[in-house]
Structure 1
Amino acid sequence: MVQSFFVWIWPAIVVELRHLRYFVAVADSLSFTGAAERLGVSQPPLSQQIRDLEAELGTPLLWRTSRSVALTPAGTAFLARARRVLTEVEEASAEARDVGAGRTGTLDIGLTGSILAGPLGRLIRCFGERYPAVLVRLHEMPPGEQQAALHAHRTDLCFLRRPPDDPSLRVVRAWREAVGVALPVGHRLAGRAAISLSELSDEPFVSLRLRDSRFATSLRDACLSAGFAPRIMQQVVEAASLVNLVAAGLGVALVPESIGAQPRPDIAYRPLAGPAPVADVCALHRAPAGAVTENFLGLMRDALGRMDDASPAAGSLAAGSSVAS
């Protein structure tokens, strides 16, 4: 219980919260003996605290006789205010504890819409069930804008498939995900169980916009490592748009498993054979993270069980991580 803070009652009058607690205890029991037992203090210090309070206020708050204690009119008026002050202090203390523990507040998450095709939506639901007083707000934006949003404190957390090289941000791998190829359903390779990148060398491609997406750049680089430069016919912002272009016959696309494996009658999704790029998703946040962000990351760690330790830079994930920067 708080005892040593000061409360301003009116100009030039200052009393301690302990004075208010002691006075309310005496007023409730109308007995110094009973109030002392309730507070766990001896009676002489309690009586002295009440006398000090009356001296500070310049008016008696209690009538005392050898047999009884009663409130003066000033005491009755002061009691109502004292109760409100103590209640407000308790409420403020509880609120501060909740905020400090991340049990209340807001969590702003930056992401692309395709990230929600994975487990993030379920994580947000579980987080809301565990922390119902935290407001989670989602902000869809291109990958290139998410880094700036973190630095500008517009978001607390963002999710990217390829984190930027930014030593001021912490990066954790949220979940692993494979990359496959989306083909028109009648494509010549659609009947294959798996397809190697090199077999796509003569195909037209549709791609995420290279200037916005480090993930798209990494997929292009994987094609170059396989011995060919992909012939990109169209570029879009969202992975969901890629499968629509594939269905229209405009090309093939390298897409995360969570996107390609969604059932569609006009798309054939096949895994990549041999060495292949990955679509692991990373969570980024400022350092130090706030309590709400830490709670979300903790829930993600518990739920997914595949999170690497936070690293001081995007390129410094734990050894063996398949996340490329």
Structure 2
Amino acid sequence: MELRHLRYFVAVAESLSFTAAAERLGVSQPPLSQQIRDLEAELGTPLLWRTSRSVALTPAGSAFLARARAVLAEMEEACAEARAVGAGRTGTLDIGLTGSILAGPLGRLIRRFGELYPGVLVRLHEMPLGEQPAALHAHRTDLGFLRHPPDDPSLRTLRAWPEAVGVALPAGHRLAARAEIALGDLAGEAFVSLRLRDSRFAAYLRDACLAAGFAPRLVQQVVESASLVNLVAAGLGVALVPASIGALPRPDIAYRPLAGPAPVADVCALYRTPASAVTENFLALMRDELGPSGSPSSRSTGSAS
């Protein structure tokens, strides 16, 4: 028994006419009649009473009609669901990130994505930087956002948005009176930093200081950028932070841009290939909303914060 047998039978049963059913199905009447006979033979019971002038359902036909309609409706629903999933209109999108990433445009992107794709459930997973590639490989996440992603040829990166690096100073710091600060002017300052063993971004900023002629004196190392500004506010030191973090209003913090050439804090999207349709739709929206800030690459171009 095939689905066409059910479709043919339902058409005949609903119209009670082989001629009308054949027109509805777009087939000729003799093959239609043969398909119904084949179905009855397989079931071992007549489904229709036929005369030269009329067609009527047998009791078995009436019972079979209800089941056939249910099977066809279930199949239509399954096909519609498969098409929606295949087009990325429904499903889930699991995003790995650090909390500091949400200070940028990602929250706005997620809200817009929800408006365009209400059938997709977006789930955010805050996790340490080193866990993001492993989560992608294990299919616990579909997409990650981080600065200085790892060199992993099995994952793809796309620069999501550019971001500058500035310096966060305790309010009243002697350098806070300047409109911008050269990186070399921070030589001798106490620094609070992301933990070097966890953060490629922290190592990148340390190397930028070395290139500017000094080794930063690290007095505290933390896991999250949000913790950095709290330590700066407490007067423990200065911190190099992404502009989105520095833009958060804090009366006890003075944020100043760095004079160029300066390090950057560009955010990259990290994902598996082939990407799911849902992931591709989110990346397409990101390009539309933020512009073509980057192109896919099999090697990383930035840093994980």
The answer to whether 1:165 aligns with 2:168 is no
How large is the Cα RMSD of the aligned pairs?
A: 1.1
Residue 210 (structure 2) aligns with:
224
Deviation at 1:223, TM superposition (A): 0.3
The answer to whether 1:121 aligns with 2:95 is no
The answer to whether 1:239 aligns with 2:225 is yes
Mapped to 1, the partners of 2:121 and 2:260 lie a distance apart of 43
How many residue pairs get aligned? The number is 304
Preserved CA contact (<8 Å) 2:150 2:303? no
Deviation at 1:177, TM superposition (A): 0.2
Deviation at 1:37, TM superposition (A): 1.2
Preserved CA contact (<8 Å) 2:49 2:56? yes
Mapped to 2, the partners of 1:152 and 1:32 lie a distance apart of 55
Q: Give CA-to-partner distance per residue, 1:200-246, whole Å, 9 cap, x none.
A: 00110000111111001100000000000000111111111111111
Deviation at 1:307, TM superposition (A): 3.1
- Give SS of 1:283's match: strand
Mapped to 1, the partners of 2:24 and 2:138 lie a distance apart of 51
Q: Which amino acid aligns with 1:217?
A: A
Residue 306 (structure 1) aligns with:
292
Residue 95 (structure 1) aligns with:
81
Mapped to 2, the partners of 1:26 and 1:153 lie a distance apart of 48
Which of residues 127, 130, 144 in structure 2 aligns to 1:141? 127
Deviation at 1:324, TM superposition (A): 6.2
Q: Give CA-to-partner distance per residue, 1:300-324, whole Å, 9 cap, x none.
A: 1111003322112225xxxxxxx46
Residue 70 (structure 1) aligns with:
56
Which of residues 167, 173, 186 in structure 2 aligns to 1:187? 173
Residue 26 (structure 1) aligns with:
12
Deviation at 1:122, TM superposition (A): 0.6
Q: Give CA-to-partner distance per residue, 1:83-106, whole Å, 9 cap, x none.
A: 011011111111111111111111
Higher relative contact order (CA 8 A, sep 6+): 2
Identity, % of aligned positions: 83
Mapped to 1, the partners of 2:151 and 2:67 lie a distance apart of 56
Q: Which amino acid aligns with 2:158?
A: V
Preserved CA contact (<8 Å) 2:265 2:303? no
Residue 295 (structure 1) aligns with:
281
- Give SS of 1:147's match: helix
Residue 267 (structure 1) aligns with:
253
Structure 1 residues without counterparts, runs of 5 or longer: 1-14, 316-322
Using the size of structure 2 for normalisation, the TM-score is: 0.98
Deviation at 1:56, TM superposition (A): 1.2
The answer to whether 1:131 aligns with 2:121 is no
With 49-58 and 249-258 compared, the bigger mean Cα shift is at 49-58
The answer to whether 1:110 aligns with 2:77 is no
Mapped to 2, the partners of 1:213 and 1:140 lie a distance apart of 15
Structure 2 residues without counterparts, runs of 5 or longer: none
Mapped to 1, the partners of 2:122 and 2:260 lie a distance apart of 40
Deviation at 1:68, TM superposition (A): 0.7
Runs of 4+, deviation exceeding 4 Å: none
Q: Give CA-to-partner distance per residue, 1:3-45, whole Å, 9 cap, x none.
A: xxxxxxxxxxxx1111100100011011111111111111111
Mapped to 2, the partners of 1:275 and 1:224 lie a distance apart of 14
Deviation at 1:66, TM superposition (A): 0.9
